[in-house]
Chains A and B, each alone.
Chain A
Amino acid sequence: DVQMTQSPSTLYASVGDRITITCRASQSVSRWVAWYQQKPGKAPSLLIYDAFTLKSGVPSRFSGSGSGTEFTLTINSLQPDDFATYYCQQYNSYSNTFGQGTKVAIK
């Protein structure tokens, strides 16, 4: 299986900050990476797919980049609603896998 490792595990930030979360794959997954946001007690919600394509309706302050083994999720001008846990997912192979999550917490 392809292993997905996110960093950091927890990120402390303030409203208005620009933050970046990194996801590294144990082998190349081309551009087949998605990012999800999950709030406590809720299901994950798709933000970005195919590494950089924003799902319709997701604010433009979210962006994704990367290919191969290294991917990033960037949030420009962090908003109060953005404090949550974020997961990456690779789907290069049929047997897809998720990262362990990055919690974005209030500084």
Chain B
Amino acid sequence: QLQLQESGSGLVKPTQTLSLTCNVSGGSVTGGGGYSWSWIRQPPGKRLEWIGYIYQSGGTFYNPSLKSRVSISIDRSKNQFSLKVTSVTAADTAIYYCARVGSASYFFDSWGQGALVTVSS
């Protein structure tokens, strides 16, 4: 059974870089099936916000509103993918989820449990 687990720094200072990793078990990040991977976040009391995708090829596509500050990468040897958000502010405080993107479509069929990241000095 596919499982995703986020890890990373829970407290980040303003202007610094937020870094999170999603470890994938029970499946391969490059195991075929047409799946890709994604990060989504949920600020406290607000709606979900999609951050970006990474395809098995390593190609990426980001939310235009975050594109200048976001990067997603994939590490095949560790079976994980990662998120970096630069120049963070309090507005980046959120629960960050990693998820698998459905094959040949863009819904999210498996999610990690989420990681709370707080931006504060």
- Give A60 to B112 CA distance when docked, in angstroms: 25
* Contact status B50-A98, CB under 8 Å: yes
Count, chain B residues at interface, CB 8 A? 20
- Give A32 to B111 CA distance when docked, in angstroms: 19
- Residues of B near A49 (CB, < 8 A) are 102, 105, 107, 109
- Give A82 to B91 CA distance when docked, in angstroms: 31
Task: Name the distance in Å between B108's Cβ and chain A's nearest Cβ.
Answer: 6
Interface of B is mostly: loop
Cβ-based interface call for B39 (8 A): no
- Give A59 to B7 CA distance when docked, in angstroms: 32
- Residues of B near A42 (CB, < 8 A) are 113-114
> A49-B102, A87-B47, A100-B47 in contact; A95/B109 too (CB < 8 A)?
no
* Contact status A45-B111, CB under 8 Å: yes
Interface of A is mostly: loop
> Interface on A for B, CB 8 Å cutoff?
1, 32, 34, 36, 42-46, 49-50, 55, 87, 89, 91, 94-101
Q: Can you give 19 contacting A-B residue pairs, CB < 8 Å?
A: A32-B105, A36-B108, A43-B97, A43-B112, A44-B48, A44-B108, A49-B102, A50-B107, A55-B109, A87-B47, A89-B107, A94-B106, A95-B50, A96-B50, A96-B106, A97-B50, A98-B47, A98-B49, A98-B50
**11 new A-B contacts at CB < 8 Å, known A43-B113, A43-B114:** A42-B113, A43-B97, A44-B111, A45-B111, A49-B105, A49-B109, A50-B105, A50-B107, A91-B107, A95-B64, A98-B47
Q: Which 10 A-B pairs have the closest CB atoms?
A: A91-B106, A34-B107, A43-B111, A98-B48, A49-B107, A100-B47, A98-B47, A46-B109, A96-B50, A43-B114
